[in-house]
């Protein structure tokens, strides 16, 4: 009897800017076997410590627009004035190979993924409060007061959509949030094996 190859599952991590998605993503990738990260494209400049091809594919607006015109993105959106997108081929190749994929994207992109790949698992990362979120954004020291204010306004709207997700992870204590995320991902892996 031949064994049918398991198709990977797509896990979508979304939430407001500054909520800790990147840290949770990095921890999940080190904690969960058979999980890979899909690197998104963006037109924004790298923050301190970010590397091209590791954190994002940092590309120009012209390159981004060419990829849109070529239908290369599975999802894409403008967030805080910059373009972000996930390359379709990268995701589908990993899923077909049987690997689970973790995608860290914005709320707009998560909605597009849900429509295109209904079997995806959407996970919303929720901050303890807007005040804590503001404090985290300020600690990054990457944005002006005006940009922080805009990010907080967007965060309020995004947080209202948390109930539309399959899971909500409350990120007050990073270790607990990481453990909860790991449990969610591994549970789906176990379900696929039974």
Q: Report the C-alpha gap between 122 and 110 in whole angstroms.
A: 7
Residue 49 counted as domain residue: yes
Predicted confidence band of residue 193 (pLDDT cuts 50, 70, 90): low
Q: What is the pLDDT of residue 192?
A: 58
Residue 35 counted as domain residue: yes
Residue 64 counted as domain residue: yes
Mean pLDDT of 17-46: 93
Dump pLDDT digits (tens) for 11-30. 999 999 889 998 999 999 99
Q: What is the pLDDT of residue 88?
A: 94
Dump pLDDT digits (tens) for 86-100. 999 999 999 999 999
Q: What is the pLDDT of residue 139?
A: 86
Residue 2 counted as domain residue: no
Predicted confidence band of residue 4 (pLDDT cuts 50, 70, 90): low
Of the two residues 80 and 27, the one the predictor is more confident about is 27
Write down the residue that tokens 């909520």 correspond to: 19
Q: What are 115's two structure tokens?
A: 């429509």
Number of neighbouring beta carbons within 10 Å of residue 50 = 14
Mean pLDDT of 26-53: 93
120, 113 Cβ separation under 8 angstroms: yes
Q: What residues form DSSP beta bridges with 56?
A: 52
Q: Is the pLDDT of residue 2 over 70?
A: no
Q: Is the pLDDT of residue 74 over 80?
A: yes
Total count of domains within the chain: 1
Q: Is the pLDDT of residue 1 over 50?
A: no
Which domain CATH number covers 115?
3.40.50.300
**DSSP category for residue 164:** G
Determine the structural domain holding residue 122 and report its residue range.
10-193
User: Which strands form 121-126's sheet, in the order they lie side by side?
Assistant: 35-37, 100-104, 10-14, 121-126, 167-170
Residue 1 counted as domain residue: no
Q: Report the C-alpha gap between 157 and 181 in whole angstroms.
A: 23
Residue 4 counted as domain residue: no
Residue 177 counted as domain residue: yes
Dump pLDDT digits (tens) for 148-177. 888 899 899 999 999 999 999 999 999 999
Mean pLDDT of 30-54: 93
Residue 161 counted as domain residue: yes
Mean pLDDT of 115-130: 93
Report the percent of the chain where pLDDT is more than 70.
95
What pTM, to 2 d.p., does this model score?
A: 0.87
Q: Report the C-alpha gap between 165 and 160 in whole angstroms.
A: 11
């Amino acid at each position: 009897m031949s064994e049918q190859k398991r198709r990977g599952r797509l896990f979508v991590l979304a939430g407001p800017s500054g909520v800790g998605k990147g840290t949770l993503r990095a921890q999940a990738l080190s904690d969960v076997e058979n999980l890979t990260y899909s690197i998104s494209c963006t037109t924004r400049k790298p923050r301190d410590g970010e590397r091209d091809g590791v954190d994002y594919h940092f590309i120009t607006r012209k390159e981004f627009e060419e990829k849109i015109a070529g239908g290369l993105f599975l999802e894409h959106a403008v967030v805080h004035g910059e373009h972000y997108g996930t390359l379709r081929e990268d995701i589908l190749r990993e899923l077909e190979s049987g690997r689970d994929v973790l995608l860290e994207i914005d709320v707009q992109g998560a909605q597009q993924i849900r429509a295109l790949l209904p079997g995806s698992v959407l996970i919303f990362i929720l901050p303890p409060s807007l005040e804590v979120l503001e404090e985290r954004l300020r600690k990054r020291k990457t944005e002006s007061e005006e940009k922080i204010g805009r990010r907080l306004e967007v965060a309020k709207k995004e947080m209202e959509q948390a109930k539309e997700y399959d899971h909500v992870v409350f990120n007050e204590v990073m270790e607990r949030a990481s453990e909860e995320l790991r449990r969610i991902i591994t549970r789906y892996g176990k379900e696929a094996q039974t």
